[in-house]
Amino acid sequence: MRIMAMRRFTGAAIRACSSSSGYFARQLHASSGESKKIVGVFYKANEYATKNPNFLGCVENALGIRNWLETQGHQYIVTDDKEGPDCELEKHIPDLHVLISTPFHPAYVTAERIKKAKNMQLLLTAGIGSDHIDLQAAAAAGLTVAEVTGSNVVSVAEDELMRILILMRNFVPGYNQVINGEWNVAGIAYRAYDLEGKTIGTVGAGRIGKLLLQRLKPFGCNLLYHDRLQMEPELEQEIGANYVENLNEMLLKCDVVVVNMPLTEKTRGMFNKEMIGKMKKGVLIVNNARAAIMDRQAVVEAMESGHIGGYSGDVWDPQPAPKNHPWRYMPNQAMTPHISGTTMDAQLRYAAGTKDMLEKYFKGEDFPAQNYIVKDGVLAPQYR
């Protein structure tokens, strides 16, 4: 999804937001030696927590920062219990200063929770994507929201390429035949295709979208992209991708559509029945961005009718997905839990990035500009 180099926040924008209720009420500042309460919400790894020393993004290993925080006198609470009025997270909302979460097991930070969190100053996403936070409410309350920009770009782009190939080659039915003791080549081959010569379009060409296009170039595809901004001509030529300003025009041409945009109020439910109906019959869709960009029922109906020939992704709404989520039972799907950006390599990057921002927070220093999602009451461009 698009994470541009952040424009500097203008004085006019800050003054405009300063009239919002609560703005500037919470200064992002931690005096030297001042103890802070930090809460981390991660998924449990259980028996897998000890199987890899780089498995940092779980409850058990807590980003690898527990000793570092506690030796400085800070309190560090870690949990996976994040839903409902009696959950563990809810108990700590009133007096926490910093809340850390991940896109893979998100702590949904609603306007109601923000109102209760009288001491909260900083919301950190260990990874990329902060749509689990009510960003408008956070801005109005004077909170800072930041994420580890770039930490899982390679991980997600590689995963998208894998999913394109899985759908194109009809891999899942073949795998299921093997584990079920079956052998029916025709049942796989009738809808398996080469990637070469196909038209692949990415909706969104930020860091992940660009890298995906670069990874696809050797396959000999016709590469298209739609984005708010067109790439520089030299980069377009290097990647071999063509810009399509009109999204509907691009969708008509694509054999594969990859979603690489952030979830905002504008993009929520964007791929509805009407938009899906404009795509080629049998189109393959890969979505590792956010599930709510899709109209859930429209996807189910298009999969059942065959208008969508295959759907793969790792994002669900909500997360974790309930057992009765309809996407679990669609034909020709290749869904997984939210895993693309939480490889061991990515975990090392987003754990280090989170620690770096906490260090700067304790010292009263600015974060890298591209990491800010909300700063001084202003949302980053991709979320406006």
Q: Per the domain annotation, does 383 fall within a domain?
A: no
Catalytic residue among 2, 132, 163, 290: 290
Q: Per the domain annotation, does 53 fall within a domain?
A: yes
Strand ranges for 44-88 from DSSP E: 75-79
Average pLDDT for 291-305: 98
Average pLDDT for 154-172: 98
Is 339 marked as a binding-site residue?
yes
Same domain for 274 and 290, yes or no, is yes
Catalytic residue among 121, 319, 333, 382: 319
CA 198, 204, 205, 208 torsion-angle sign? negative
Same domain for 135 and 162, yes or no, is no
Is 295 marked as a binding-site residue?
no
Q: Per the domain annotation, does 1 fall within a domain?
A: no
For residues 247 and 226, what is the distance between their CA atoms, to the nearest angstrom?
6
Same domain for 110 and 256, yes or no, is no
pLDDT of residue 31: 53
Question: For 206-238, how does the pLDDT look when each residue is reduced to its tens digit (9 = 90+)?
Answer: 999 999 999 999 999 999 999 999 999 999 999
pLDDT of residue 381: 87
Is 248 marked as a binding-site residue?
no
Same domain for 116 and 185, yes or no, is no
How many folded domains does the chain comprise? 2
Contacts of 337 (CB under 8 A, 6+ apart): 104, 314, 316, 320, 321
Tell me if residue 152 is catalytic. Answer: yes
For residues 22 and 138, what is the distance between their CA atoms, to the nearest angstrom?
10
Q: Per the domain annotation, does 293 fall within a domain?
A: yes
Tell me if residue 325 is catalytic. Answer: no
Q: Per the domain annotation, does 18 fall within a domain?
A: no
Is 152 marked as a binding-site residue?
yes
Confidence grade of residue 382 (pLDDT, cut at 50, 70, 90): confident
pLDDT of residue 27: 57
Confidence grade of residue 26 (pLDDT, cut at 50, 70, 90): low
The residue that leads in pLDDT, 26 or 136, is 136
For residues 328 and 316, what is the distance between their CA atoms, to the nearest angstrom?
10
- Structural domain for 248, as ranges: 152-335
Same domain for 43 and 66, yes or no, is yes
For residues 259 and 120, what is the distance between their CA atoms, to the nearest angstrom?
33
Is 307 marked as a binding-site residue?
no
C-alpha count within 13 angstroms, C-beta hemisphere, residue 139: 22
Catalytic residue among 74, 92, 105, 338: 338
Q: What is the mean pLDDT of the chain?
A: 92
> What DSSP line would sit under 304-371, residue for residue?
HHTSEEEEEES--SSSSPPTT-GGGG-TTB---SS-TT-SHHHHHHHHHHHHHHHHHHHHTPPPPGGG
Same domain for 158 and 222, yes or no, is yes
Residue 296 has pLDDT above 50, yes or no: yes
Same domain for 166 and 305, yes or no, is yes
Q: Which pair of structure tokens corresponds to residue 155?
A: 């991980």
> What DSSP line would sit under 35-46, residue for residue?
--EEEEE-B--G
Tell me if residue 338 is catalytic. Answer: yes
Q: Which pair of structure tokens corresponds to residue 378?
A: 């202003």
Same domain for 261 and 323, yes or no, is yes
Contacts of 109 (CB under 8 A, 6+ apart): 99, 101, 123, 132, 133, 134, 138
Same domain for 331 and 347, yes or no, is no
pLDDT of residue 143: 97
Query: 266: closest CA among 382, 375, 376?
Result: 382
Confidence grade of residue 25 (pLDDT, cut at 50, 70, 90): very low
Stretch among 45-49, 59-63, 271-275, 380-384 having the lowest mean pLDDT: 380-384
Residue 131 near residue 267, CB atoms below 8 Å: no
Is 331 marked as a binding-site residue?
no
Residue 60 has pLDDT above 80, yes or no: yes
Same domain for 191 and 130, yes or no, is no
Total count of residues recorded for the chain? 384
Is 28 marked as a binding-site residue?
no
Same domain for 129 and 170, yes or no, is no
Residue 279 near residue 305, CB atoms below 8 Å: no
Residue 57 has pLDDT above 90, yes or no: yes
Question: For 303-340, how does the pLDDT look when each residue is reduced to its tens digit (9 = 90+)?
Answer: 999 999 999 999 999 999 999 999 999 999 999 999 99
Question: For 6-24, how does the pLDDT look when each residue is reduced to its tens digit (9 = 90+)?
Answer: 333 433 343 334 333 343 3
Q: Per the domain annotation, does 193 fall within a domain?
A: yes
Is 207 marked as a binding-site residue?
yes
Q: Which pair of structure tokens corresponds to residue 15?
A: 């003054």
Catalytic residue among 92, 105, 113, 152: 152
Contacts of 53 (CB under 8 A, 6+ apart): none
Same domain for 171 and 275, yes or no, is yes
Q: Per the domain annotation, does 21 fall within a domain?
A: no
Question: For 309-318, how does the pLDDT look when each residue is reduced to its tens digit (9 = 90+)?
Answer: 999 999 999 9
For residues 9 and 366, what is the distance between their CA atoms, to the nearest angstrom?
13
Residue 29 has pLDDT above 80, yes or no: no
The residue that leads in pLDDT, 382 or 371, is 371
> Which CATH number belongs to the domain containing residue 301 in this structure?
3.40.50.720
Contacts of 75 (CB under 8 A, 6+ apart): 35, 36, 37, 38
Residue 302 near residue 296, CB atoms below 8 Å: no
Q: Per the domain annotation, does 20 fall within a domain?
A: no
Tell me if residue 66 is catalytic. Answer: no
